[in-house]
Structure 1
């Protein structure tokens, strides 16, 4: 996992590598950690200019979209070769509370379906959080790049 600070030298080196990464046929997962709305807009503009791809924004995580909606999102992005950006993806990084029985589970969003789609996706996926998050060991093994915003 590569950790870069937004607008640092390492960030600009990362951007220079983006055309090659965008054309590679594997999954590439980026987290924008602590980005406010204007920072995220600037970073996606950078990615768009370097990759010549369109960034498709979605709030599917915070909206707790259905499994079929998430599946359709990934199908659309795969067909168009766009970059998929999940805004407000804090749910993925929040500490989970203990579930005592099956009736206490949050049935609103299927994280396993999202991770399955990310794992089999052949393209770029960005998970954006507006809070500065500490990645869990599980999440950090899935990330290719973490862009930290101050």
Structure 2
């Protein structure tokens, strides 16, 4: 006979997908994946730390707002967001994707692929890397590199 390629989508939150059969290894895999709190909590942290990162990105687009503390905060919040996203991706890979069976009863080969959500999170994580390098590569205005001898108001300092 000829080999056929069949495709089926299985949602991780579909309880019925993990209750078919009585293979304890598959049942444990499903439980581990479903209960992967590290992946969920780090994903939430990655999203929350992205908000101040976007604020520093916007702040640094103006000469008035491009100050050393904004650059530093941009690097720190972006790095936290990047690490959180990477941890979420790696936790999912370790608890779910990497442990999936490669065959069914030694008879049928199984090939797995990640879904759109994983691909979007991976893309967002790669963008964070670019954003981090931009913060590191783009210097603040040279007038803000040294401490001034004179007392200036905040508005006067930002106009330098």
Calculate the TM-score normalised by the size of structure 2. Answer: 0.26
Higher CA-based Rg: 2
Calculate the TM-score normalised by the size of structure 1. Answer: 0.27
Name the structure with the higher strand share: 1
Q: Which has the higher contact order (CA 8 A, sep 6+)?
A: 1
Name the structure with the higher helix share: 2
